[in-house]
Structure 1
Amino acid sequence: MSPSPSAAEKIAYLKSLPAIRERSELVYAKAEANQLKHFDVDFDKLNDVAKFVVSLIKRDYDAKDIPTIPPHTRLRHFEIGSKDRIGQLLESWKGRVDNMETVRRLVDLVVVSVLLDAGAGDRWSFEVKPDNIQQKITRSYTRSEGLALASLSMFKEGRFSSDIHRSHQVDADGLCNLPLESLREGFQVDDQKNPLLGLEGRWEMLKRLGESLKLHPEFFAGTESNAPLRPGNMVDYLFKEGSDRPRRKDKYVVRTESLFKVVIDGFAEVWPPSRTSFNGVSLGDVWPCDSLETPGAAADSTDHLVPFHKLSQWMTYSIMEPLETMLNIEWEHSNLLTGLPEYRNGGLLVDIGFMSLKPTEEARGLANYKHNALKPGQPAVEVVPTFEPSDPVIIEWRAMTVATLDRVAVEVRKQLALPNLTLAQVLQGGTWNAGRELASVSRPNTKGPPIAILSDGTLF
């Protein structure tokens, strides 16, 4: 009989990539046994989900281009309007900095942009002014793309840097000393005309990011003497692993787990103290799932906790891309990353009818919506069940999303006859866009999800 795992071992497991998929699979098994607490599941609709995703992929990509669908990363959001903004940024740096520094800067941008990518709400938008006087049209962008362009604009303006001579960087002092008013201005927030959900939560998160950089110099100090502590300095840490290991076809091989460890441990202090803790250690995006609770379980049991680490995975996916394309890095064990449990992927499953709230939960969610709609500034349109991020409904929904996305990906590969299509490609080419399109058709006023989460700017 093997000894019970120690507290340290439990924590390490819950902060690992395998735990995300394994714990979500336990929730899916409950669904197969008709033992979920909050949702009913129509497994016959799984094929409908896959067919809809495939139809969008075939609509949006020529057959020859489907195998090269780009991965689902934050960099895609900068391309809104078919404009290569990152390419323009890289061009502006050409000849001024070397390749390593270019990638460090991209990682700096990706990290803050991902952290600022919480739900913006239905009333916020970001205006992008014309590049020159010949272009007279000012365009507005909302949601993830709007947040991406706002973060890019603030990055280029040097709002996250403490060095006026090196404005295109993100560093610890720049973040710790960032005024709330600077973030408000950067997001073009007007509490009456252009309100952004969770502005102060985003600000506090960026300041905690600055503290995390200071607490983890092993990841963020870089190799240059007296270099500022930056997220992008993780590039040096990861590149060293690739340099120390045997190459594979002239590529530097780096474990995906190594990058995920930097994100999970190096940014551990970013998460609000209200998140789940165990043995005095904050676990981040880990939540109790009542469908996994066992009567009589030991007080120190963690068997009912389900890790998602959605933002950490989103950041990992997004950091992998520039290191792969610009530093010739090959990622080992990238298949450990899961689908992202957020409202577009999860909304797809609800809108198609694969998952539906049990009647009692539907009524409770609608009561929550009514209570929230009475608050000042809340638009009373498109009634949807509404819950706090910590509500058991949301935990169960997110766990089912992770496990179901794996199954959707299998069906999509079969229908396209492309067995090597990655999960990141399925997310980008299909499920995320499918969730957004169904939301736009089903709820045209807000284009929001079928189940609303009350955002504080720290849940993604």
Structure 2
Amino acid sequence: MTPSPSTTETITHLRSLPAVRERAEHVYAKAQEGQLKHFDVDFTKLNDVAKFVVSLIKRDYDAQDIPKIPPHTRLRHFDVGNKDRVGQLVESWKSRVDIMETTRRLVDLIVVSVLLDAGAGDKWTFEVKPDNIQKGNVTRSYARSEGLALASLAMFKEGRFSSDIHRSHQVDADGLCNLPLESLREGFQVDNNKNPLLGLEGRWDLLKRLGNALKAHPEYFAGESNAPLRPGNMVDYLFKEGSDRPRRKDKYVVRTESLFKVIIDGFAEIWPPSRTSLNGVSLGDVWPCDTIKSPNARADSTEHYVAFHKLSQWMTYSIMEPLETLLNVEWEHSTLLTGLPEYRNGGLLIDIGFMTLKPSEEARGLANYKHNALKPGQPAVEVVPTFEPSDPVIIEWRAMTVATLDRVAVDVRKLLGLPNLTLAQVLQGGTWNAGREIASVSRPNTKGPPIAILSDGTLF
């Protein structure tokens, strides 16, 4: 069935960047009217959030370095322990490949690493052995996002995502489609008893779907004749736009929307069939939100759908960086990107007291926790309300996070006297770290968020 023109326009809009901020603002307006269904909001605490974020920025950065805070991208997680692992990798490629291939390889790595960055759980860690045993080097273990990043980096370097043993440092469609589950289990150092990882099979299935997506979209991912289909080949597609458009000084100008479109369209097949769809077209990270649904809405109305595209935006932020630093790309309309609706940013709002679950939802979430705690392998520590990703509580929380982060960023800029600080810098400097730090104080055993989302390895 071919969608009608109006339906086609709706699908296009809901899969766009402007839809994220637009629909989140509808939810925030309900909050200002005291009409949220699942949370109470104390707007007097908004400035407390900004002050806490600023205090951490001033603690972690010298005054002259604050304007140079790097953007919040996946590349930051590879640097854990103050080791420039990606820089070392790029340096090792210099004598072998040109700058375009270097950038393709980094995009290959970023795409799989972002896709593997779903919640890992509170018990999983990744062990990194030292390059040598001299000078007191010791084996170190990393958890959560940093652990997942280092695991993906190790698997990339080992060639687990490549179909060509002579070109191990690449990700290609055949390598992903033929990836054995056992290879992923080994790469993540998973032991179901000692080192369990949430959603391992979900991640494996996601990578196989990525392989199929690459095959379905040669317009973005095909390289030269007979070259394998790779995520990194989008570099050539995007760089062509910059080459075809007027340059600013020595910069190649590329629309942020162009990169986002490659990610939304080119990776559409990665979303599970359970995700929201319209006329058979998957909308991705888009969900119905009962908070903004009109009581008189038609059964087929989409007015209450809220778009997040967290994964797609996280990937967009992350891919922008190497194209900017290596290929001199300047990104046009980058302010269309929003804050990321994930549990560190959202958890900060709850832990500060800006948002509080309504009592009935708190009780329901705790009942969910108790039910989940009875399952094998679930630790019964630090009881927190628990919900499925599609639960109305989670959807309302994520929408409020997007809209509130815009306001926090405004206050942070004012407090620092830096009007040009980007949202990506505020996130990095920033709200994400603040969410992690306050979680470690509030829940020292797990350092997890104040609300738990039951992860299957496909929610980011």
Match of residue 40 from structure 1: 40
- Write the distance in 2 (CA, Å) between the matches of 1:289 and 1:114: 26
- Write the distance in 2 (CA, Å) between the matches of 1:48 and 1:73: 25
Is the partner of 2:449 in helix, strand or coil? coil
Cα distance, 1:136 vs structure 2: 4.3
- Write the distance in 1 (CA, Å) between the matches of 2:37 and 2:249: 50
Is the partner of 2:232 in helix, strand or coil? helix
Match of residue 214 from structure 2: 213
The reply on whether 1:153 has 2:139 as its aligned counterpart is no
- Write the distance in 1 (CA, Å) between the matches of 2:243 and 2:368: 54
Q: Deviations over 1:81-132 (max 9, x none)?
A: 0000001101110110000000000000000000000000000000000101
Match of residue 171 from structure 2: 170
The reply on whether 1:283 has 2:283 as its aligned counterpart is yes
Q: Which amino acid aligns with 2:112?
A: V
Cα distance, 1:225 vs structure 2: 1.2
Q: Deviations over 1:423-458 (max 9, x none)?
A: 000000010000000000000000000000000000
Describe how 1:366-405 pairs up with structure 2 within 5 A.
Answer: 366-405=366-405
Q: Which amino acid aligns with 1:177?
A: N
Match of residue 126 from structure 2: 126
Match of residue 354 from structure 2: 354
Match of residue 363 from structure 1: 363
- Write the distance in 2 (CA, Å) between the matches of 1:436 and 1:154: 26
TM-score (norm 1): 0.98
- Write the distance in 1 (CA, Å) between the matches of 2:131 and 2:391: 44
Is the partner of 2:40 in helix, strand or coil? strand
Q: Which amino acid aligns with 2:217?
A: H
- Write the distance in 2 (CA, Å) between the matches of 1:368 and 1:258: 41
Match of residue 424 from structure 1: 424
Match of residue 340 from structure 1: 340
Cα distance, 1:133 vs structure 2: 2.8
Q: Which amino acid aligns with 2:174?
A: D
Q: Which amino acid aligns with 2:185?
A: R
- Write the distance in 1 (CA, Å) between the matches of 2:178 and 2:73: 28
TM-score (norm 2): 0.98
Is the partner of 1:165 in helix, strand or coil? coil
Match of residue 234 from structure 2: 234
Cα distance, 1:5 vs structure 2: 6.6
Following superposition, which runs of at least 4 residues in structure 1 exceed 4 angstroms of deviation?
none
- Write the distance in 1 (CA, Å) between the matches of 2:452 and 2:197: 16
Q: Deviations over 1:315-365 (max 9, x none)?
A: 000000000000000000000000000000000000000000000000000
Cα distance, 1:45 vs structure 2: 0.2
Match of residue 200 from structure 2: 199
Q: Which amino acid aligns with 2:151?
A: A
Cα distance, 1:389 vs structure 2: 0.4
The reply on whether 1:257 has 2:257 as its aligned counterpart is yes
Match of residue 30 from structure 1: 30
Gaps of 5+ in 2: none
Match of residue 183 from structure 1: 184
Q: Deviations over 1:165-209 (max 9, x none)?
A: 000000000000000000000000000000000000000000000
Q: Which amino acid aligns with 1:103?
A: T
Distance 1:193 1:317, change over 3 A: same
The reply on whether 1:105 has 2:105 as its aligned counterpart is yes
- Write the distance in 1 (CA, Å) between the matches of 2:210 and 2:26: 33
Q: Which amino acid aligns with 1:151?
A: S
Match of residue 68 from structure 2: 68
- Write the distance in 2 (CA, Å) between the matches of 1:157 and 1:10: 43
Cα distance, 1:250 vs structure 2: 1.5
- Write the distance in 2 (CA, Å) between the matches of 1:239 and 1:345: 32
Q: Which amino acid aligns with 1:118?
A: A
- Write the distance in 1 (CA, Å) between the matches of 2:103 and 2:43: 43
Percent of paired sites with the same residue: 87
Cα distance, 1:17 vs structure 2: 0.2
Distance 1:218 1:5, change over 3 A: closer
Describe how 1:13-24 pairs up with structure 2 within 5 A.
Answer: 13-24=13-24
Q: Which amino acid aligns with 1:190?
A: D
Cα distance, 1:300 vs structure 2: 2.1
- Write the distance in 1 (CA, Å) between the matches of 2:124 and 2:455: 13
Is the partner of 2:419 in helix, strand or coil? coil
- Write the distance in 2 (CA, Å) between the matches of 1:323 and 1:299: 44
Give the alignment's Cα RMSD to 1 decimal.
0.8
- Write the distance in 1 (CA, Å) between the matches of 2:382 and 2:5: 48
Is the partner of 1:446 in helix, strand or coil? coil
Decide which moves more: 5-14 or 315-324.
5-14
Cα distance, 1:249 vs structure 2: 1.5
Decide which moves more: 153-162 or 273-282.
273-282
Match of residue 87 from structure 2: 87
- Write the distance in 2 (CA, Å) between the matches of 1:300 and 1:254: 37
Is the partner of 1:322 in helix, strand or coil? helix
Describe how 1:266-281 pairs up with structure 2 within 5 A.
Answer: 266-281=266-281
The reply on whether 1:324 has 2:320 as its aligned counterpart is no
Q: Deviations over 1:200-250 (max 9, x none)?
A: 00000000000000000000002x211100000000000000000000111
Is the partner of 1:411 in helix, strand or coil? helix
Match of residue 452 from structure 1: 452
- Write the distance in 2 (CA, Å) between the matches of 1:336 and 1:217: 27
Is the partner of 1:140 in helix, strand or coil? strand
Cα distance, 1:296 vs structure 2: 2.3
Decide which moves more: 296-305 or 415-424.
296-305
- Write the distance in 2 (CA, Å) between the matches of 1:279 and 1:397: 27
Cα distance, 1:299 vs structure 2: 2.3
Is the partner of 1:254 in helix, strand or coil? strand
Gaps of 5+ in 1: none
- Write the distance in 2 (CA, Å) between the matches of 1:279 and 1:243: 37
Is the partner of 1:257 in helix, strand or coil? helix
